[in-house]
Every structure is written in structure tokens, then in C-alpha cells.
Chains A and B, each alone.
Chain A
């Protein structure tokens, strides 16, 4: 395996992605549902700075791709997200791998060091390890953005993005010489007898798995995700269990501090005979200001229609370990990052 560096070229470019970049990222934890894997990346390309490299001959990679980027930022905080795509001759693209760096962690995940506004530094980070083959005649596209919601919670003051200098930047791919592989084989899957759980058909159409709602005038984007895996299950012994688990992720195009999420969960095991009906319902919300994450949680437990337990809790959690004066992270009010 040989790391090959693909140097980027061109004049310095401003990377200033709208905050809803990442809407086509797919699900963070794909479990085989139809909408889990990332969809066509055409629109994400328009929100990112992109560089393309030819693939004259079939290119196999195995390992962690990485990037070296020369960045100039005028904000003390921010993040950079890199994605590699395989672009076919007809322009369709497959998202191959991606990685992200919180700029405050550029010297290591154990040190929070804000960026000196106006300064230029080289940063390096890995992308997710993989094995992949780029077919001959395709192109490798490197896309860079300064936002990736809802995978990455944006730093305060990061809406202005950063300037990337291609002359000091490169993509590194772990290219593998393709010798004849020892044949690796596996047996057919062998599993135990299924339990005999059934899911009765429902009268209502299930909600869509992933729905993107855009309020055009407000510039607000909302992702509604509903895994709806077998919402009602009936077990062989008569136990029935109904679950609901929708999440929403909302952000305004121009405001990193508008990021917010809401998750509700309900689970209802019940039996017709002897009749009992238990219900747990939760609501969790996460928002932020420049200094803190703001969380709210609610739990309601019911026996039939009677509430037997009810608790709400709100907490504010500092956004970084080091907001002390003179600490590494600086002061969001000084830099206008709180507006």
C-alpha cells in the first residue's frame, strides 16, 4: 500500500457553505433502510469547493484517505469537512468517504486551541477508512465545506467560512497495488429459527423515512427522520409492542447558532389478556447559544391512561472544556460569534 498525494491546484478560494450543507449526507448510522445511504451529491457540490483528479487506470485504495489543507480563517472557531466522491463519465457521483476536523482540535483531540483570526495554518486529518476501486476513466472529486449539518454541530462564528489555498493542499489516498489476492471466502449465513414476531398492517401510511422541509422565506431547513422499523410487533406469546422514534434536525442557512434537534420516543408494550398497557414517552431537545448547549428532557410513564411518573429536566452544558479567561478558546462575545 502506497500513499499517493494528489496536489490541488488553483487560486485561493473562499469556502463559505450554507449551514444546511450536509442535507444529503444520509443517515449517520445506516441500518439498511432505503434512505440511509447518501443520495446524489450534485447539490452538495454546489455548496462546497471541489477539486477533481483523473483516474487513468483502475485505482484501488485500502486504508484511511487524508487531507492536508492550507487554511486562512478570520474566525476563532470553525470546522472543515472533506468528502471524496467517485464521479462517472455521465456526471453521477458516488460518495466514497468523508472526514471532518474541528479547527480547535487541529493540534490533537485533547487540546482546544482557537484560531488566531487572519492567520494561515496547515491542518491535516484522516477520512473514514475503506476499501474501494475507482474505475478507469472516472474522476476522483474532493469536496470541502465549512458546514455539515446534522452530522457536525457548527461552531459559533463559523458562518463566514475560511479561505483555502490549493497550492498548499493535497488529498492523500492509500493506493494499493493489485496483486492476485488470496481468495477470501465466507460461508453462507447460518441463523437460528426466527422468533415468529409479526407486524400487523396499519391503516395509516407510515411517515417517510427521511423528509427534508425547506421554509424558503426564512431560509430554514428541517430534516424529519423516522426509522419506523416494524412499528407494531406482536410476539408469539401475545405480547404486543408499539414504538415510535421520530427525530427532527433544524437549522437556518446563515446562522450556526440556530441549530437545534428534537427527538421523541414512545414505547408501549401491552397485552390484551390479562389486560395491561404500559407506556413510556420521552421528549429530548438540544439547542445552543455561543457558550452553551441547552438541553431539555421530559419523561412520562403511564399505566393505561394514568400518569405514574413525570419528570422534566433542563441543563446547560458548556460548549468546550476551556472557556476560562486566558484559556485556549477565547471569548465568543468579543468576536461577534454570539449574534
Chain B
């Protein structure tokens, strides 16, 4: 976990390390100490997943779909998927001409924008009936595809520096370290 905290952007990651066993830290199992873990987690999720008052007001005033020229600083961007706002259920596609993820399962609908009506002929969604009910928390908006966020999180193992070979010690043959 420290490798992730070291490698990911500082404003996007938070690590919590303690002496707990392999169970959630609110359970109070030995060696403890039990902490209010279930209070910490919604704070993080609220920060990143809840719609903000600002984002809902801005989206409702949009009259046409199109690229978002000034993505909100809080939005989680991905070069292939476009911009995923924290406002759940809304995917601001850059538009049909922009580069999108070629995998149809991810972002299959290059068509109508977020405030239009779904066109069944253009929708690659294999189960178009699933998302027809608007989320009551996201007023008057349809989910156009099966939202999917694919994230690859990798942190390289740290390479420690090696000393140069000591005089007199045979340098072993073999591939050099990468």
C-alpha cells in the first residue's frame, strides 16, 4: 500500500496503516485497536462519488451535448473514456468524432448526448432495457450505456541502487538488471 501512496497523485490517494489483522479495523479483533473505520470510508466516498451542488446545476443548464472544453478539476479523466463526472449516471462523451475506446463494451454508444433520448438503433448496449430508469438522484437524465470505469493501478517495485562491483570480486555473467 505504501507503494501506491508513493506512486499515485497525492490528492487522489489516502492510506491508512495500522497493526490490524486481516479484518476491518472497526471489528475490534486482536491486536486492535478498534477505530471508527465505518465513519472514515463514507467521508472518502462522499468526496469522490457524491454529486456536488455545483455540478448538478451546471449540467441542467446545458442545452446540447458536446465536448466539455473545461472539465471540472474534480472529474476523473481517462483519455479513452472521456470525462466521468462525479455526478453519477452522466458520461460526457467528447462526441462521435473524438477518439474513444475501441472496445464496444466500455463506451459503445457514440451517438446522442447526455440530454437527448436514447436511439435504440445506435446504442451498442447489449441490454438497453437495463438503464432506462433514470436514477432518482440524477434528475431527468438517462444513462446511455453501461458505465464502466476501468482503472489500472500499478506501482513499480522499488529498485534499490546496487554498489559498483568491489575490486577483486568476479563480475558474474548474465543479463543486466533492467
User: A168 contacts which chain B residues (CB < 8 A)?
Assistant: 163, 166, 169
- The answer to whether A32 has its CB under 8 Å from any CB of chain B is yes
With A107-B177, A116-B172, A189-B38 known as contacts, the answer to whether A31 contacts B23 (CB < 8 A) is: yes
CB contacts (< 8 Å) of B28 on chain A: these are 189
| A230-276, CB < 8 A from B | none
Interface check A206, CB cutoff 8 A: no
Contacting residues, chain B, for A37 (C-beta < 8 A): 31
Q: Please state if A119 and B173 are interface contacts (CB–CB under 8 Å).
A: yes
Binary per-residue interface labels of chain A (54-77) against chain B in the complex, 1 for a CB within 8 Å, 0 otherwise:
000000000110101000000000
B80-99 vs A, CB cutoff 8 Å, 1 = contact: the mask equals 00000000000000000000
Question: Is A137 part of the contact surface with B, judged by Cβ < 8 Å?
Answer: no
Which of A121-129, A144-152, A278-286, A312-320 forms contacts with chain B? A121-129
Closest to A129 in B: B2
Complex Cα spacing A56 to B106, Å: 58
Tell me if B12 is interfacial: C-beta within 8 Å of chain A: no
- Is A29 a contact of B22 with CB atoms below 8 Å? yes
Residues in A neighbouring B27, C-beta threshold 8 A: 32, 189
Query: Contact check: which of B1, B36, B170 meets A187 at CB < 8 Å?
Result: B36
Q: Tell me if A113 counts as interface (CB < 8 A to partner B).
A: yes
A109 CA to B159 CA, complexed, in Å: 12
**B36 → A minimal CB distance (Å):** 3
Which of A32, A66, A172 is within 8 Å of B29, CB to CB? A32
B31 touching A126, Cβ below 8 Å:
no
Interface residue? A306 (CB, 8 A):
no
A-B pair count, CB < 8 Å, reads 92
Query: How far is it, in angstroms, between the C-alpha of A165 and the C-alpha of B91 when the chains are bound?
Result: 59
Among residues 88 to 108 in chain A, which have CB atoms less than 8 Å away from a CB atom of chain B?
Answer: 107-108
**B15-70 CB contacts (< 8 Å) to partner A:** 17, 21-23, 25-31, 34-40
Tell me the interface secondary structure of chain B in the complex: loop
Distance of A168 Cα from B169 Cα, bound (Å): 10
The CA-CA distance from A168 to B30 in the complex, in Å, is: 40
Nearest chain B residue, comparing its CB with the CB of A192: B38
Given A107-B178, A190-B38, A124 and B160 contact (CB-CB distance below 8 Å): yes
| Residues 131 to 165 of chain B near chain A (Cβ within 8 Å) | 157-160, 162-163
Contact A107 B21 (CB under 8 A): no
Chain A residues with CB under 8 A of B38 = 189-191
Instruction: Verify B169–A189 contact, CB threshold 8 A.
Output: no
**B160 contacts A187, CB within 8 Å?**
no
**B177, A108: Cβ atoms closer than 8 Å:** yes
Q: Complex Cα distance A310/B160, Å? A: 51
Chain A to chain B contacts (Cβ below 8 Å), 13 pairs: A66-B160, A68-B162, A107-B177, A111-B178, A113-B175, A116-B174, A120-B169, A124-B159, A124-B160, A129-B3, A172-B160, A190-B36, A190-B38
B interface list, Cβ under 8 A from A: 1-3, 17, 21-23, 25-31, 34-40, 157-160, 162-163, 166, 169-170, 172-175, 177-178
